[in-house]
Amino acid sequence: MLGAMTFCKAPCIVAQNPQVIDILNDVRIDSMAFFVQQLTGEQAVNVNGQADTIFSRYMGTPGNELAFQFAKKKFMDYGLAVDSLAFGAFSGKNLLGILVGTQFPEQIVMLGAHYDNLPVSATAPGADDNASGSAAVLEAARVFSGHTFPYTVIFALWDEEEQGLIGSKAYAAYAASNDLKILAYINVDMLGWDSNDDHVADIHVRPIAQSIQLANKAVMVDSLYEIGLGLHVVNPGFTASDHASFWNEGYTAIAIAEEYDNDFNPFWHTSADSLGQFNLPFYEKVAKLAFATLGECALGSTATGSGEAPAAGSFMATIHPNPAPGTVRLEYSLPFSATVSISIFDPAGKMVETSTNPDQPPGNHSTIWEAANFPAGIYLCRWQLTPANPNAAPVELIKPVILSR
C-alpha cells in the first residue's frame, strides 16, 4: 500500500551535524546587514578608538585601508589569528583570519570574498559587489570562532579583485608554491540581489581537483539543512571572481553567488549599489549555504552529493527477500540528493503502486511494499531519480521482484 511505504532514517549515511546546526542558528541577518552598512558608509566604523566612514573601498583609497583595518579588528575581536599578504604597486593587501584546526592544522578550508570595489568615484558603496560577500565572511568569522574544528578554517578578504583578481592570484600562487594543503575554497561575491524573489542561487564549478564533489556537497547541504534555495549549478562556471585564482593553481574551489545569468543586478559597479536593494531573506539563505558547506568541510565530513557526476552506475538498489511471500523491502542507496519515484508494475505491465519521495538526502533508504494481497508472479520495481543538481541527468533502474506463495 502506498500509505504504508515508510522510510528508514537510521541507516542514512548523511545526517545533520549539530555543530553546523549551531552555526546556522547563530547567523543573524541584522548582524550581516550592519556589516554591509559599515562597509558601505551608511554606518560609521570604529577603528583605533575613533569613528570614521568608509566612502569607497576602491584600491588605494583611504576607505580601502579603513575597510582592511575594520575587518582586521573584527577578526582579532573574534580571537582569530590574523595574517596579511601585501602585494602590488598600490600596496594592496589581503586579510586572513585563521581558526587553527585541532587535528589537522596544516589542512585548510577557506571562505573568501573581495573587499575592494568599483566604481572610481568619491562615493562607491559597492554593497552587493562585494560588501555582501565581505560581510558574510565577517559573519562567518563571528559564528565559527565560537567552535573548534579538526581542520584549519581561513576567512579571507581579497584586495584588487576588480583589477583582475590580483589579491587572490597572489595568495593562490603563494599557497601553491609553498605546497599549502587547501582542501576547499568557497568564494562569495554578490549575494544580495534577487529581484524576482525566486531564491535561486548560482554554484559555479569546473572539473578541477575535487571541485565537482564540493559543488555536490553544497547541493546536498541545501537540502540536508533545509536552507530552501533553488540551486543553479553552472559548469563550466564563470571565472570572473577570486575562486578562479584557486582553479588556476589546481585547487578545489566553487563560487556561491546570486544568479548572474537570469537576474543580474543592474546597479552593479554603479554608485547606486546599496543595501536598500538587497533581498535580505535571500541574502541570509545564500550566506547560510556557504557557511553550512564550509562547516561540513571544516568538520571533515566526506559526505558529498557524489564522488563523480551523478550517473546510473552509482545508484544501487536491492530487494529483500526475493522471491517474496508477502512483505518486500526495497532498499536503495542514493549517491546524491534526489527526488525518488518508486513504482511497481504487475506481470501484465500495469502500474499497481507508485510513490514519490521529494528531496531525499544521499545515503541509504528503504521502503516497504506490502505485497501479500497481490497475485503471485514476476513484478518489476522501477526507481526514477531526479537529481537535486539541475545539471545532472535523471537516473532510472528497473529490477524484477518475484511474488511466490
Q: Which residues bind Zn ion (CB under 5 A)?
A: 129-130, 189
Q: How far is the CB of 382 from Zn ion (least distance, A)?
A: 46
Q: How far is the CB of 26 from Zn ion (least distance, A)?
A: 26
Q: How far is the CB of 241 from Zn ion (least distance, A)?
A: 6
DSSP 8-state assignment for residue 394: P
DSSP 8-state assignment for residue 375: P
**CA distance linking residue 265 with residue 189, whole number of Å:** 12
Q: Please, which residue, 192 or 363, has the CB nearer to Zn ion?
A: 192
Residue 135 contacts residue 278 (beta carbons within 8 Å): no
| Residue entry with cell 534526489 | 338
**CA distance linking residue 299 with residue 89, whole number of Å:** 39
Q: Please, which residue, 130 or 265, has the CB nearer to Zn ion?
A: 130
Chain centroid to CA 289: 5
**CA distance linking residue 64 with residue 55, whole number of Å:** 9
Q: How far is the CB of 240 from Zn ion (least distance, A)?
A: 8
Q: Please, which residue, 42 or 189, has the CB nearer to Zn ion?
A: 189
Q: Please, which residue, 171 or 225, has the CB nearer to Zn ion?
A: 171
Instruction: Give the list of residues 6+ apart from residue 107 with CB closer than 8 angstroms, or none.
Output: 101, 151, 152, 181, 183
CB burial string 190-223: b at 16+ within 10 A, e below = bbbbbeeeebbbbbbbbebbbbbbbbbbbbbbbb
Q: Please, which residue, 223 or 279, has the CB nearer to Zn ion?
A: 279
Q: How far is the CB of 114 from Zn ion (least distance, A)?
A: 6
- Assess whether the previous peptide bond of 310 is cis (omega < 30° from 0): no
Q: Please, which residue, 131 or 143, has the CB nearer to Zn ion?
A: 131
Q: How far is the CB of 126 from Zn ion (least distance, A)?
A: 8
